[in-house]
Amino acid sequence: MLALQGAVDKHIQMLSKLNIPCLAVKHREELGRIDAIIIPGGESTTIGKLLIRFSLFDPLSNLIAHGLPVFGTCAGLILLAKKITGFDQPSFKLLDITVARNAYGPQIESFEADISIPHLGEKAFRAVFIRAPIITEIAAHTEVLAGFEGNPVLIRQGNILASSFHPELTNDERIHRYFAHNLVGEHLKELAYKKN
């Protein structure tokens, strides 16, 4: 769990509910001790600056580029995006999407909506959007797991999972479980296979 700024605690609570051990990463050395990382919501410009200041930006970018599973929520999604419309700010540029920040309109700071995520069963997921970005462009190889009003809001590209909403702010842990079972599970299996 990247813990430089933003909505960290609720993610940690959700992981502990799922019995998934978690480390709050603030220093470069800690990157050697993780099997996956969550980049939380918050302020993407601030998190980006702090990543650089704490010498985490390049090593983390390298790890993700080489397969470390990552789940970016809201600002975390922005930090993974290849293109950010109208802003010159650091991002890993590993997720083939274009995002527009705060794009649901400044007057609607936040809202909730029921979205359908077919991979996670029939029950709708209550998605909490807080000054959320809109994904305006997406590459063909990036899978859309859920959409809202015609835009993707939950997507997967290989080892990268990203949501424009805050899945940690509900009691529904299905997306965190999906991340752990699928992306992290696949990664650990591959590592074990390479070792043998």
Task: List, by residue number, the catalytic residues.
Answer: 74, 166, 168
User: Which residue, 101 or 156, is less far from ligand GLN as judged by CB?
Assistant: 101
The residues in 28-47 that bind ligand GLN, with binding defined as CB under 6 A, are 41-44
176 binds ligand GLN (CB under 6 A): no
Q: Across the strands, what pairs with 127?
A: 113
- Spatial CA neighbour of 159 closest among 91, 23, 66: 66
- Spatial CA neighbour of 97 closest among 49, 155, 42: 155
Least distance (Å) between residue 7 CB and ligand GLN:
7
How big is the site for ligand GLN, counted in residues (CB under 6 A)? 11
Assess contact for 36 and 70: CB atoms under 8 A: yes
Least distance (Å) between residue 123 CB and ligand GLN:
24
The residues in 113-152 that bind ligand GLN, with binding defined as CB under 6 A, are 130-131
**Residue 145: helix, strand or coil by DSSP?**
strand
Q: Across the strands, what pairs with 130?
A: 110
User: Which residue, 44 or 61, is less far from ligand GLN as judged by CB?
Assistant: 44
